[in-house]
Amino acid sequence: MRNDHATEEEVVASLPQPPRAVLFDRDDTLITNVPYNADPDLVTPIQGARRALDLLRAQGLKLGVVTNQSGVAKGLITAAQVRQVNKRVEHILGPFDTWQVCPHGPEQGCSCRKPKPGMVLAAAVELGVPPDRCVLVGDIGSDMAAASSAGAHGILVPTSATFTHEIEEAAEVAGTLSDAVHRVLDRSRR
C-alpha cells in the first residue's frame, strides 16, 4: 500500500532554515508609539520587551530595528532627535546589532520606507544573514509587506490600531511581543 505521507526526514528538510536574526519595528512593537517623538524621556518599553530580547541575545540571534520616521521629512523632528530617542531605546532594551531608519515621507518614493523591503535587505546585509533567515516582528501590515517582499518571515503582533485585514493577511500572528519571540526561539533551537 502506498504511503502518501512525507517521512520525518522529508518534513525536516522542507522546513525553512532556523532564523538567525530578528528585526523589530520600533513604534508600538518595542516601545509605545508617541507620534513623532523627539523626547527620550517619553520612551516606554512594551511589556516584557527587555526580557524577550535578552532571550534572543542569549540564543546568539542577531537583533535589529527597522523604523519609519517620516517626521524627519515633515520637519517635525530632526534626525539627531531620532538618534537620541533610539539611544534611549538601547539604554532601556539593550544593544541592537543594526538600526535602519527611514527619514523619508510617503510621497518621496524611497526604497527604504516600509512596506518597501529596503531596510530589511540593508539590515540583512549588515548582519551578514540572508533575508530568508531573518524574522521581522511588527504591528501593522506594512511591516509584514516589507518582510515578505524582502524574502523574510513576518510575525504580526497586533495592537488595537491594527486593521482586521492586516491580521487576516499576516503570515503569522502572535498575541504579544514575548509570544512572538518564543515562536522564534522554538524555531532557532531546531
- Catalytic positions are 25, 27
Q: How many CB atoms lie within 10 A of CB 18?
A: 14
Query: What does 97 interact with, of Mg ion, Zn ion, none (CB < 5 to 8 A by kind)?
Result: none
CA contacts within 13 A on the Cβ side of 16: 16
User: What is the distance between the alpha carbons of residues 172 and 5, in angstroms, rounded to a whole number?
Assistant: 25
- Alpha-carbon distance of 190 to 177, in angstroms, equals 21
Pairing of strands 21-24, 62-68: parallel
Residue 92 binds Zn ion, judged by CB under 5 A: no
**Which window, 23-31, 58-66, 120-128, 159-167, contacts Mg ion (CB under 5 A)?**
23-31
Binder to Mg ion among 20, 104, 139, 183 (CB under 5 A)?
A: 139
- Using CB under 5 A, which of 49, 112, 124, 147 touches Zn ion? 112
List the one residue from 38, 76, 92, 110 that touches Zn ion (CB under 5 A). 110
97 or 139: whose CB is closer to Mg ion? 139
CB of 41 to Mg ion, least distance (A): 20
- Euclidean distance between CA atoms 67 and 111, whole angstroms: 13
In whole angstroms, give the CA distance from residue 65 to residue 27: 10
183 is a contact residue toward Zn ion (CB under 5 A) = no
Binding mask 30-69 for Zn ion (x = CB under 5 A): ----------------------------------------
Q: Contact 39/76 with Cβ under 8 angstroms?
A: no
Residues for the chain: how many in total? 190
Residues 144-163 that bind Mg ion (CB under 5 A): none
Cell 524582502: give the residue. 150
d(Cα 52, Cα 50) in Å, to the nearest integer? 5
Does 166 interact with Mg ion (rule: CB under 5 A)?
no
Q: Does residue 102 touch Zn ion according to CB under 5 A?
A: yes
In the list Zn ion, Mg ion, none, the entry touching 73 (Cβ below 5 to 8 angstroms by class) is: none
Q: Where are the alpha helices (DSSP H) in 94-172?
A: 118-127, 141-150, 164-169
The footprint of Zn ion (CB under 5 A) covers 102, 104, 110, 112-113
Residues that bind Mg ion (CB under 5 A): 25, 27-28, 139
